[in-house]
Structure 1
Amino acid sequence: MFDSTAKAKRHGEARDFVRLMIAKAAGGGAATEYFKQRWPESRNIDVIQRAAVEPGKINGESWGDELSPERYLASAFVEITIAKSVFGRITGMRNVPFNIRFPVQTGAASFGWVPSGGIVPCSSMSFTTASFKPLKVGGIVVTTQELAKLAAPDAETIISADLAAGIGSFLDEAFLDPNNAGVVGESPASITYGAPHVDASGVTAVAAKDDLRRMLGSITTDMVAPYIVMRRTTALHLAAADGGLDADNGAFRFLGPNGGTIWGVPVLTTASVPQGAESPPHNRIIAFDAAELLVGDVGLEVDITEQADLLMDSEPDSPPTGSSVLVNLWQHNLTAFKATRFVNWQWRKSGAVSYIDKVEY
């Protein structure tokens, strides 16, 4: 009961964060009054009122900004919406702060049986140091001002879905794509880049189980927090193996399009698992030990403006060139929501990830 009540409270806070963004877009300098008049039933009106008088910024540059009302609601939005992505559903990762050097163990201590009167083994653990730089994921969602001012609940759903789905799916692809080598100082390499992999050996459930054994067998860590990630269609095909691919589907009886388990290992499903370049494209299945993954993440920030010239392009020229076409938001009656998230990841040690390529089952 407590869990469901707490979850409902967080859903309400996430919804009110989107409403606050709409109020800022539609209400201008009177965002608080606009919010109170449009959503008088909100349980977070007192939080919104504090946000209106909160001094300073909420972009992580000043002390105590984690306590600002707007960031409090934003954290709920991140928790509810980004949790739908693979990156948001993984538990067991090692969270580390940005811009602080921390030790990374590279050698384990030695232990052994000691006979009576014998000498106890002595060793020194070896460490190196590492530091996480905050890397930024961002995007801009442009809507008409009419949509922001629309009283129907659909307006909240549309804006919320655009903000959340864009960053969530992009992060998943960047996180999982074996071809993502990353760019130093700009973006991290995927967890699968340079990882060992096996090619699918067939299309039957028997072949799938053999491939899964080989994939999992190539992971050399302790598998403290193991995960398998695949596309929903792959999971559905494996789950239906008894009537289609093969009668021997015992490994997949707890599997479905929304995930499940294989041999007790949690399976996460997403449409963001990158496919191969073949035609038609082949799928991939990825396995990893999240306990060996270092992650830094400070959450989501959203800015709003109606006064800007934008390059309406998913791959804009940077910097703009003479041929770049700018769109004036004010002239076209548009509102832009800019979402950014500071996040980074890297493996603590090698041998924690593998994948199956050229999957056709």
Structure 2
Amino acid sequence: MLYNTQRKAPHLNVTRGLQVARLAYALAKSRGDFMGAEAVARAKGWTDTADYVTKAASGPVDRTDGVGLISVFNDLDDVLRAGTILGRMTNARLLPFQTRAIVGTQGSSAGFIAEGAPAPVSEINLTAIDALQPLKAVGMAVVSSELLEVGIQGTQAFLANDITAGVRLALDRVFIDPVNVRSAISPGSILQDATRFDAAKTAAGIKGAIRSLVAAVTSSDNDLATCAWVMSPKLATFLSTEDDEAFKGVTALGGFLCGLPVIVSTACSLAGSPSEELLALISQDAVAAALSDGELSMSDAAAIQLSTTPANAAGPLVSLWQNNLVGFKTQVFADWRLRRSNGAAYAVLN
């Protein structure tokens, strides 16, 4: 299900990941059996989690199944989707998968006319964008069974973050790194064909880059009010330590730059260039995106390749059961495109 949630400025959520960790714990203790997971959750007094696994065992689960289920969905969403650049764009145009969309490339015009004069009719230019495809991003994490036994309250943040971090970073890297080209299995970077600027990583250089980025994005009638800056936490921290009034609203968690929201992601450090930083300005309204809810599954009896680049051919496998390990798989379907030309621009700072 797709929805657009208006989110406030970033803040520390001490309960983030609690429902995800509880669900993972219950499934792991029951070895993936939903009926057993329900019993584990109820024995712990986790009624929301128990309601979730009961519904999952009896039929499809969706967001209409009650407050208890919504709390589990929202928590997974908070950990997974809301941690991505796309998930923090509050004004992106969310569309269904495999549905063509019509977008306006030039709006209608109006003006004052004399009394009794005919009203002018202006032309509206429309074009179609290709349908967004359900392209799958998958991440796996393996934790020890002992970690689940230690106590869920003390390990919830680590567990929830560990089983979703890979997917979050993968989505962000593909979305923001300009070198990523669209393929049959992956979206391309939103900056793939965007205008690039180069600037020095100094206060004066960054101010010049800001002016260039604003000019580039607004040249095609993109509304500056819907734009957002995207940068790394490292660059945001650098700006916040500069004794400059222009950067006083920027923090390591985001904040505001020139009155526009700042979205931070570690994916903004360019691949192969540790000294270079990326600063992007994106018109959120120009982004057409489809992003599914996250899916979580587990196993403690599988044999898997413990590799970041698993091969299709036969290779060495590790038994989770023999090594007292539990594997969690997180997946999400996503795709995105720019609806308008020059809807994004970026600067490389060095």
If the TM-score is normalised by the length of the shorter chain, which range does it land in?
0.7 to 0.9
What is the TM-score with the length of structure 2 in the denominator?
A: 0.85
Counterpart in the other structure of 2:231: 230
Partner amino acid, structure 2, of 1:351: N
Shift of 1:269: 2.1
Which segment drifts farther, 328-337 or 91-100? 328-337
Are the aligned partners of 2:136 and 2:331 in contact in 1 as well (CA < 8 Å)?
yes
Are the aligned partners of 1:13 and 1:73 in contact in 2 as well (CA < 8 Å)?
no
Distance in structure 1 (CA, Å) of the matches to 2:75 and 2:336:
22
Shift of 1:48: 4.3
Distance in structure 1 (CA, Å) of the matches to 2:300 and 2:50:
26
| Residue 307 (structure 1) aligned with residue 311 (structure 2) | no
Check 1:233–1:27 CA distance in 2 against 1; reply closer, same or farther (3 A cut): same
Distance in structure 2 (CA, Å) of the matches to 1:283 and 1:46:
45
Counterpart in the other structure of 2:248: 253
Aligned residue among 278, 284, 296 for 2:278: 284
Gaps of 5+ in 1: 1-9, 59-64, 243-248
Distance in structure 1 (CA, Å) of the matches to 2:126 and 2:214:
27
Counterpart in the other structure of 2:58: 55
Matches of residues 209-358 of structure 1 in structure 2 within 5 Å?
209-219=207-217, 220=219, 221-242=222-243, 249-275=244-270, 277-278=272-273, 281-317=275-311, 320-322=312-314, 324-357=315-348
Post-superposition CA distance 1:69-116 (Å, at most 9, x none) = 796354222332132333222111111111233322233224333233
Aligned residue among 26, 44, 61 for 2:48: 44
- Indicate the SS of the match to 2:30: helix
Counterpart in the other structure of 1:188: 187
Partner amino acid, structure 1, of 2:284: A
Are the aligned partners of 1:26 and 1:149 in contact in 2 as well (CA < 8 Å)?
no
Shift of 1:17: 3.3
Counterpart in the other structure of 1:35: 41
Distance in structure 2 (CA, Å) of the matches to 1:135 and 1:203:
36
Are the aligned partners of 1:98 and 1:133 in contact in 2 as well (CA < 8 Å)?
yes
Distance in structure 2 (CA, Å) of the matches to 1:295 and 1:45:
30
Distance in structure 1 (CA, Å) of the matches to 2:201 and 2:330:
41
Distance in structure 1 (CA, Å) of the matches to 2:103 and 2:20:
37
Post-superposition CA distance 1:22-45 (Å, at most 9, x none) = 1111123422222222x22x3526
| Residue 75 (structure 1) aligned with residue 99 (structure 2) | no
Shift of 1:328: 2.3
- Indicate the SS of the match to 2:268: coil
- Indicate the SS of the match to 1:268: strand
Are the aligned partners of 2:139 and 2:164 in contact in 1 as well (CA < 8 Å)?
no
Shift of 1:304: 1.2
- Indicate the SS of the match to 1:44: helix
- Indicate the SS of the match to 1:216: helix
What is the TM-score with the length of structure 1 in the denominator?
A: 0.82
Counterpart in the other structure of 2:127: 128
Aligned residue among 205, 208, 227 for 2:206: 208
Partner amino acid, structure 2, of 1:343: A
Are the aligned partners of 1:231 and 1:270 in contact in 2 as well (CA < 8 Å)?
yes
Counterpart in the other structure of 2:7: none
Are the aligned partners of 2:252 and 2:264 in contact in 1 as well (CA < 8 Å)?
yes
Counterpart in the other structure of 1:177: 177
Are the aligned partners of 2:256 and 2:262 in contact in 1 as well (CA < 8 Å)?
yes
Check 1:128–1:95 CA distance in 2 against 1; reply closer, same or farther (3 A cut): same
- Indicate the SS of the match to 1:218: helix
Distance in structure 1 (CA, Å) of the matches to 2:231 and 2:167:
19
Shift of 1:264: 0.8
Shift of 1:229: 1.3
Distance in structure 2 (CA, Å) of the matches to 1:338 and 1:45:
18
Are the aligned partners of 1:223 and 1:291 in contact in 2 as well (CA < 8 Å)?
no
Are the aligned partners of 1:229 and 1:285 in contact in 2 as well (CA < 8 Å)?
yes
Shift of 1:15: 1.5
RMSD, aligned CA: 2.5
Distance in structure 1 (CA, Å) of the matches to 2:202 and 2:99:
49
Gaps of 5+ in 2: 1-12
Check 1:207–1:16 CA distance in 2 against 1; reply closer, same or farther (3 A cut): closer
- Indicate the SS of the match to 2:114: coil
Shift of 1:227: 0.6
Partner amino acid, structure 2, of 1:93: A
